[in-house]
């Protein structure tokens, strides 16, 4: 579809409200998904680091306990 002017493009043949509202809702939803994904990734990485540190402490404690006996 070609538009005669930028104003016609913005008006979308009389359906501007529905067209631009659908674009807004879509981009808003995609933004929320992106933010949630980033936050979930950050929390998972922190949980992995905590678990690795815990396993390292357990391994060190077992080695110290073996040497002490």
- Number of structural domains the chain divides into: 1
CB 20 within 8 A of CB 12: yes
In a domain, 29, yes or no: yes
Q: What is the mean pLDDT of residues 3-17?
A: 90
Q: Residue 40 belongs to what domain range? A: 6-68
In a domain, 64, yes or no: yes
Q: What is the CA radius of gyration of the chain?
A: 28
In a domain, 26, yes or no: yes
Closest listed residue to residue 8, CA positions, set 43, 54, 68, 19: 19
Helix (H) or strand (E) holding 12: none
pLDDT tens, position by position, 27-59: 999 999 999 999 999 999 999 999 999 999 999
In a domain, 51, yes or no: yes
In a domain, 1, yes or no: no
In a domain, 47, yes or no: yes
pLDDT bucket at 69, cuts 50 / 70 / 90? low
CB 13 within 8 A of CB 7: no
Angle, vertex CA 63, rays to CA 58 and CA 69, nearest 5: 125
């Amino acid at each position: 579809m070609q538009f005669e002017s930028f104003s016609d493009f913005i008006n979308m043949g009389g359906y501007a409200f529905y067209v631009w509202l659908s674009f807004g809702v879509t981009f808003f939803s995609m933004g929320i998904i992106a933010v949630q994904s980033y936050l979930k990734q950050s929390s998972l990485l922190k949980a992995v680091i905590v678990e690795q540190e815990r396993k390292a402490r357990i391994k060190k404690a077992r080695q110290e306990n073996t040497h002490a006996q």
